Amino acid sequence: MSDFWTYWYIHIPNFVLAAIAYTLAGRFLLGLFVPRDWDNYIWRFFRLITEPVVNVVRRITPSAVADPSVVPLAFFWIMALRFVFLATMIHLGIAPAASSGA
């Protein structure tokens, strides 16, 4: 537990990005089976959490890309951001070292 608080500046942003990414994946998968305007509380939660990210991705995505493709693209960009964040922390030498397993 002490490693978490030692490296909180890595763990918390990584957790938030992961939570957003997997919520986007859930929204996409659920969206394959339900109508876009469904009034279920789970669907509303997915949309509430992910809509700000989807709106940003929609603004930077060319209009030639179909609207249903924006959610998977948002997932891709969040995962890419997560990778770049962790790679930057490792490159700067402020990430925890891998355990030796001993």
What are 3-55's pLDDT values in tens digits?
778 889 999 999 999 999 999 999 999 999 999 889 999 999 999 999 999 99
Q: What is the mean pLDDT of residues 69-79?
A: 94
pTM of the model: 0.84
- Shortest CA distance to 99 belongs to which of 7, 22, 9? 7
* Cα angle 72, 77, 81; round to 5: 150
Residue 81 has pLDDT above 90, yes or no: yes
